[in-house]
């Protein structure tokens, strides 16, 4: 059940500060693994931030704390001024404003594409079915798969599924979109269609935090690129500087491995 008490936070706000403010975040997994060791990051409205780093560096864990899919034990995270705490009402309010796209798409296989898109708007935003469907079809048009609206996810290619997943998040009109390795599970020929949709989103001014290994996307779309290693944010720099003249030895070593 959603709580009405928090709807005051819904919709665009005039809050001028950074939309994400994560300070000194520490996370231990239940098995004792120290995944985040004082990671900090600020993201401003309309900004596209790409997070790179070797596997196991805590990139995914870090962005999953931004919509409370992972909890953290020390430090503080504020989304649009709202602190992420254990207060469940607060978490629901934050999740309504933060969209997330997963590596494995995570579409709901028992629902049609259209139903995937209208489920959350009708249940959470209490929109009428007709209104939700109109908006869903608009967004499917935008990601280029309106003609597949009545198919089931299993009948689509990986690239199409990921575009549906992006449209599904957009249906909630989020202020911020998180992408957790959105192209890593795709066949190479399908990567571009997904990146193009993301590029279009960025051009429209969406605030985006993207964990990816796509260097070209980072160079062309990101305002800032972040390197994470061993649970810490090592370097934050504009892409030109990040790829040609990084200031940290760790970044240079990472770039040597991937370029």
Residues that bind other proteins in the complex, under the rule CB under 8 A = 1-2, 67, 69, 92, 95-96, 98-100, 102, 104, 106-110, 112, 119-120, 123-124, 150-155, 165, 168-169, 172
Least distance from C-beta 179 to other proteins, angstroms? 12
Whether 164 contacts 156, CB under 8 Å: yes
Least CB distance from residue 100 to other proteins, whole Å?
4
Rounded distance between C-alpha atoms, residue 169 and residue 155, angstroms: 20
> Minimum Å distance from CB 104 to other proteins?
5
Task: Name which of 120 and 227 has its Cβ closer to other proteins.
Answer: 120
Helix (H, G, I), strand (E, B) or coil at 173: coil
Handedness of CA 252, 253, 256, 259 (dihedral sign): negative
Question: What phi and psi values does residue 16 have, to the nearest 5 degrees?
Answer: -90, -15
Least distance in Å: CB of 180 to other proteins? Answer: 10
Torsion of CA 62, 203, 13, 52, to 10 degrees: 10
Specify the residue, 95 or 224, whose C-beta has the smaller distance to other proteins.
95
Contact by Cβ (8 Å): 97, 10 = yes
Judged by CB, which is closer to other proteins: 165, or 222? 165
Query: Which residue, 62 or 254, is less far from other proteins as judged by CB?
Result: 62
């Amino acid at each position: 059940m959603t709580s009405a008490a928090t709807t005051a936070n819904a919709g665009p706000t005039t809050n001028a500060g950074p939309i994400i403010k994560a300070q000194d975040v520490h996370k231990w997994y239940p098995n004792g693994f120290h995944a985040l060791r004082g990671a900090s990051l600020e993201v401003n409205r309309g900004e596209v931030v790409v997070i790179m780093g070797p596997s196991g560096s805590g990139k995914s864990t870090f962005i999953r704390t931004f919509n409370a899919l992972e909890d953290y034990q020390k430090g503080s995270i504020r989304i649009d001024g709202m602190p992420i705490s254990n207060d469940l009402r607060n978490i629901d309010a934050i999740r309504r404003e933060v969209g997330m796209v997963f590596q494995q798409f995570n579409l709901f296989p028992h629902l049609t594409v259209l139903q995937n898109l209208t489920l959350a708007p009708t249940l959470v935003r209490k929109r009428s079915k007709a209104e939700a469907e109109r908006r869903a079809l608009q967004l499917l048009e935008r990601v280029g798969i309106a003609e597949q609206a009545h198919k089931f996810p299993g009948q689509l290619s990986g690239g199409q599924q990921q575009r549906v997943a992006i449209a599904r998040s957009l249906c909630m009109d989020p202020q911020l979109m998180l992408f957790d390795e959105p192209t890593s599970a795709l066949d190479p020929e399908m990567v571009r269609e997904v990146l193009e949709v993301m590029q279009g989103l960025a051009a429209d001014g969406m605030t985006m935090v993207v964990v990816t290994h796509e260097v070209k996307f980072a160079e062309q779309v990101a305002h800032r690129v972040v390197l994470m290693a061993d649970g810490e944010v090592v370097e934050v720099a504009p892409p030109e500087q990040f790829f040609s003249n990084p200031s940290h030895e760790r970044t240079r070593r990472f770039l040597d491995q991937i370029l």
